Structure 1
Amino acid sequence: MTWSTADIPDLTGRRALVTGATSGLGYETAKELLRHGAEVLIAARNPQKTSQAARDLTEATGREPVQIELDLADLSSVQRAAAQVSESYDRLDILVNNAGVMATPYRLTIDGFELQIGTNHLGHFALTGRLMPLLREGRVVTVSSFMHKSASSVQEADLRQSASNYSKWPQYSKSKLANLLFMFELGRRVPSVLSVGAHPGYASTHLQAAGPELAGAKLTAKLWAGFNLFAQSAAAGAQPSLYAATQADLPTGTYVGPSFFEYRGAPKVVQATRAAQDPERAQQLWDWSVEATGVDPALTVPS
């Protein structure tokens, strides 16, 4: 039997936070969670886009999301966003770590980390840790990519990658491998929280064009827009995240992707690479991430 969003259970009384919910996968994820009764917090870095997304989501679902300002490339912003949530709520049932950047030109975060791994991994690592007191026995969904298969390892030097050694696509793959190493290690270190992962396959979103736009490569951005004609919709791409966020009886460490060669189709449980499931690599990355962010999610779990 093929799973669809119609199979999402009633989420009334559940509270979810989705990062990067102003467009694409995050927007579609937030929309379905709202439609099925959840209270949804949408977190993104651009207040104007967040406000517009909130209006659109309210119009589409009849239910208004809560807006949170969050820049994952700025650890002080992560701290402020988590504090805002913690001051307003005493519980969070679902955290969808969805936001990300792809194949950007060489940039550093506010804190001096390479932008892709700093945003995609370190920002979410710190956010998860700071929200852990609210999650208790909740669920954390880490959104990765099939591009993680292109990376064999993540080294400590990758966190502060130099311009001379930077290559945008390998670094993106490493950031997505880091997502999965974190997902598996979170499940081992914090067994009270259900830690699962998902990837959208090849979905039509603005993510592919954002990197070329940042570099001023307008033609490349237009080419990506053309390639997206062959991709599945953002709504379809969000289904693995929604399955991971709402399906009952999933074991921790479950990884969900599209059914047709992991490129498109209904969600199903898929396999991460051997490198992504390596506990020694995951422990190393965890330790480096704690040092980089000053946050240890395993130490912020309430007793």
Structure 2
Amino acid sequence: MTTQFGEKSTTEDVLAGIDLTGKRILVTGVSAGLGVETARALVAHGADVVGAARNVAKAERATTEVRAAADAGKGAFSIVELDLASLASVRACADALNADGRPFDVIIANAGVMVPPFGHTADGFETQFGTNHLGHFVLINRIAPLLKHGGRLVNLSSAGHRYSDVDLDDPNFERTPYDPWIGYGRSKTANILFAVEFDRRHRDRGVRATAVHPGGIRTELARHMDESEMAALVASINETAAEAGTPAFEFKTIPQGAATSVWAAVVADPAEVGGKYCEDCHVAELQEGEGIRGGIRAYALDAERAKALWAKSEEMVGERF
């Protein structure tokens, strides 16, 4: 069993005493929030981190502490350009990483968007499904051969997966009225199902995949929500908590939010987290019921649903893996 950590654990708590020298890790979304802290913590403990970001200049400004950690220790840090809302950009990034040829020990698919107005990616996909799922689906599958034996994939999902299962008949809201939270839920469920099927396909070569919920954190991810919407969301969560007899919601700090990603990536037993969904630095239990709460809905771990999403995703991006 791994050491017990919890919702208050930080990146430094879970990495205490761990030397990541020689580990090479890809982290997407290093221009703000959790991605920056994830990269910083890993670099501070000796890892060679490749950060991916749509806006490289913004990422350079945001990661001064990451570069300081690299300068102060044994780790290293570099940035590559990646716009998950453009498959041309995704494929160019994958091509560059493959041409470089250096393997990865871990991929942390951290980047994403949350509840934007209705829109489409460069390839015509609904913004959240296209960015949060399909962009990562193509990137990770294209560079999967670079994952070493014993490597791991960590997909950032969310308790927001509870809003909706994936819709394989109408993924782009062409016949369904758009609801930003339903769109978010679909994409976050897709992140989990992708990890389930990736884990099944790669575990025989020692590569495991997991999905994680970082918790509620105030980051740029919530830029499409105003204060009244945030207050209503928190009130809804607390109503559910009161009914369940659990404590009221508290926002996590960014180091607490990034802790589960780091724990699942380099601390937890791979056999414990492979094909699972984790929160607060432990594997989550099945938990049905309405509202945003802890645990995972059964549909997000359904193996057949995961295979069907994989096939639908291949059809949508025009590429088989």
TM exceeds 0.5?
yes
* CA shift digits 1:122-165 (9 cap, x unpaired): 011111111111014221001100111221x3122443223862
Task: Give the 3 Å change call, closer, same or farther, for CA 186–70 of structure 1 in structure 2.
Answer: same
1:48 to 28, 33, 57: 57
Other-structure match for 1:109: 121
- The residue matched to 1:276 in structure 2 has which SS? helix
Other-structure match for 1:142: 155
2:132/2:187 contact within 8 Å kept: yes
Q: Distance in 2 between matches of 1:73 and 1:45?
A: 9
1:10/1:36 contact within 8 Å kept: yes
2:265 corresponds to 1:256 = no
Other-structure match for 2:209: 195
Counterpart residue type for residue 141 of structure 1: V
1:231 to 236, 251, 266: 251
2:23 corresponds to 1:27 = no
Other-structure match for 1:13: 22
Counterpart residue type for residue 134 of structure 2: L
Other-structure match for 1:70: 82
Other-structure match for 1:170: 182
Q: Distance in 1 between matches of 2:79 and 2:114?
A: 24
1:24/1:234 contact within 8 Å kept: yes
Offset at residue 197 of structure 1 (A): 1.4
Q: List gaps (5 residues or longer) in structure 1.
A: 213-219, 259-266, 298-303
* CA shift digits 1:207-245 (9 cap, x unpaired): 112x24xxxxxxx26864998995111111111101110
Q: Distance in 1 between matches of 2:80 and 2:134?
A: 19
TM-score by length of 2: 0.81
1:106/1:163 contact within 8 Å kept: no
2:312 to 268, 283, 288: 288
1:113/1:161 contact within 8 Å kept: no
Q: Distance in 1 between matches of 2:159 and 2:176?
A: 26
* CA shift digits 1:81-134 (9 cap, x unpaired): 111112223311100001110001001000000000000000111111111110
Q: Distance in 2 between matches of 1:169 and 1:111?
A: 22
2:206 corresponds to 1:186 = no
Q: Distance in 1 between matches of 2:233 and 2:76?
A: 33
TM-score by length of 1: 0.86
Q: Distance in 2 between matches of 1:175 and 1:89?
A: 30
Other-structure match for 1:91: 103
Aligned length: 280
Offset at residue 77 of structure 1 (A): 0.4
What RMSD in Å do the two structures reach over aligned CA positions?
Answer: 2.2
Counterpart residue type for residue 204 of structure 1: R
Offset at residue 65 of structure 1 (A): 1.3
57-66 or 89-98, larger mean C-alpha shift:
57-66
- The residue matched to 2:116 in structure 1 has which SS? coil
